[in-house]
């Protein structure tokens, strides 16, 4: 199979898990190459996501690494299944890779926790709100790219309306609710849309009011995406240079603790809806 020019985050993650499984078992790259019938260089490429590994070879490696977590191995084999494409692939080459990686991460999550201090979660934004956000970046985006990003954002939201949607816990600070991207009318419509989405069975919206005080990671945007098994959880952080994806055990534990803290100080779901309604009515 030909090498990939730019592997996706999901492909790189699979490679990282293959490497972790191999090194945890104390198996050398040379031994793994002989086991799978490939040259040593291909093992390195597999572990960086540049080359694919078949589900059959992955299971062979897992067996020889004495990996007895069947659910974990099954999840990796599913990641290795060839021919997987998503709706986001049509934007490849037109939008930054990081945006497509976020959409793919959301699509394969079983539960998400998202914390925002200055913005509304992307999955819960109206088109007008998103449009206003895309138009206040530096350097300014050309209109055709604004249109592409808006179309991509709208399609991302379809994950919440799928037949088997992931659960979403959105933790939003009062500051984000009071931001008026696009003006008063757009802001009011955005708050009303939040209320509408919060009535969905698998969407929970929690508000942190100003009076709740300090909490760890204040000002940082965090998405904690739970995979099919806990070892495949991922944290995605927004930065000015694009998204970062974290999955080291210590990093996952740190952000779980951050989000647990934020949930503890947030209003209840019903109190949060009442709070949002009060802000909307004041506009």
Longest alpha-carbon distance in the chain: 69
**Low-confidence residues in the chain, pLDDT < 70:** 1-4
Rounded (10°) angle between helices 40-47 and 29-36? 100
Token pair for residue 102? 């976020």
CB neighbours of 167 closer than 8 A, spacing ≥ 6? 110, 111, 112, 202, 203, 204
Residue pair 1/52 in contact (Cβ under 8 Å)? The answer is yes
SS3 content of the chain, % helix, strand, coil (to 5): 55, 10, 35
Residue 159 near residue 106, CB atoms below 8 Å = yes
**Would you say 224 and 211 are in contact if contact means Cβ atoms under 8 Å apart?**
no
pTM, to two decimals: 0.94
244 membership: H or E segment, kind and range: strand 244-246
**Separation between Cα atoms, residue 85 and residue 62, nearest integer Å:** 25
Cα–Cα distance measured from residue 223 to residue 122, given in angstroms and rounded to the nearest whole number: 11
Tokens of 122: 């992307």
- Domain ranges in the chain are 9-80, 87-282
Token digits for 180?
């008026």
Hey, what are 209's tokens?
């009011």
**Domain 9-80's class?**
mainly alpha
Residue 92 to residue 232: CA distance in whole angstroms: 24
Residue 5: the pLDDT is 73
Q: What's the CA dihedral at 35, 80, 70, 26 to 10 degrees? A: 40
For residue 57, the SS3 value is helix
Write the CA distances from 47 to 17, 52, 225, 282, integer angstroms: 8, 9, 22, 54
- Residue 179: CB atoms within 10 Å: 16
Tens of pLDDT along 94-149? 999 999 999 999 999 999 999 999 999 999 999 999 999 999 988 999 999 999 99
Decide: helix, strand or coil at residue 89. helix
CA distance 110 to 78: 14
Radius of gyration of the chain (CA): 21
Fold of 87-282: Endonuclease; Chain A (3.30.870)
């Amino acid at each position: 199979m030909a090498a990939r020019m730019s592997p996706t985050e999901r492909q790189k993650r699979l490679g990282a898990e293959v490497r972790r499984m191999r090194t945890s078992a104390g198996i050398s790259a040379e031994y793994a190459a002989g086991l799978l019938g490939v040259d040593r260089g291909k093992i390195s490429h597999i572990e960086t996501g540049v080359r694919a590994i078949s589900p059959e070879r992955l299971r062979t490696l897992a067996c020889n690494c004495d990996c007895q977590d069947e659910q974990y191995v099954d999840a990796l084999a599913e990641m290795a299944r060839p021919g997987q494409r998503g709706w986001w692939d049509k934007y490849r080459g037109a939008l930054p890779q990081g945006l497509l990686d976020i959409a793919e991460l959301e699509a394969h999550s079983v539960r998400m926790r998202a914390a925002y201090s200055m913005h509304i979660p992307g999955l819960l934004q109206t088109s007008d709100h998103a449009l206003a956000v895309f138009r206040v970046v530096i350097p300014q985006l050309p209109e055709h790219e604004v249109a592409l990003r808006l179309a991509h954002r709208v399609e991302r939201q379809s994950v919440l309306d799928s037949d088997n949607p992931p659960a979403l816990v959105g933790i939003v600070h009062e500051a984000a609710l009071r931001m008026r991207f696009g003006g008063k009318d757009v802001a009011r419509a955005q708050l009303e849309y939040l209320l509408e989405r919060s009535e969905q069975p698998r969407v929970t919206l929690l508000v942190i009011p100003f009076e709740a005080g300090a909490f760890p990671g204040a000002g940082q945007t965090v998405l904690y995406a739970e995979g099919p098994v806990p070892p495949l959880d991922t944290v995605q952080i927004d930065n000015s240079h694009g998204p970062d994806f974290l999955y080291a055990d210590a990093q996952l534990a740190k952000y779980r603790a951050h989000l647990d803290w934020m949930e503890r100080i947030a209003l209840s779901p019903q109190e949060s809806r009442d709070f949002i309604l009060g802000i909307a009515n004041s506009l």
